[in-house]
Amino acid sequence: KIAVSNGAGVLQSLAIMFGSLVQAILLIIALVGSQRTARSILGM
């Protein structure tokens, strides 16, 4: 039982890490995209 619960905890922590990583990537993409749109608007 201890090993099973430990494995579940590892899976949960991995899922949390993966989720935060995806959020960080999406945030970077959003920042870069907003900068590009702002530059294109300024360029026009």
Q: Measured between alpha carbons, how far is 35 from 7 in angstroms, rounded to an integer?
A: 42
Q: Hey, what amino acid is at 30?
A: A
Q: What is the structure's pLDDT at 42?
A: 80
Q: What is the structure's pLDDT at 15?
A: 95
pLDDT in tens, 3-44: 667 778 899 999 999 999 999 999 999 998 888 887 887 886
Q: What is the structure's pLDDT at 26?
A: 93
Q: What is the structure's pLDDT at 2?
A: 64
Cα end-to-end distance, the chain, whole Å? 64
Residue with tokens 């900068």: 35
Q: What range does the domain containing 11 cover?
A: 1-44
Cα atoms in the 13 Å half-sphere on the side-chain side of 23: 6
Q: Enumerate the H helices of the chain as residue ranges.
A: 2-43
Q: What is the structure's pLDDT at 39?
A: 82
In the chain, the number of structural domains is: 1
Q: What is the structure's pLDDT at 43?
A: 81
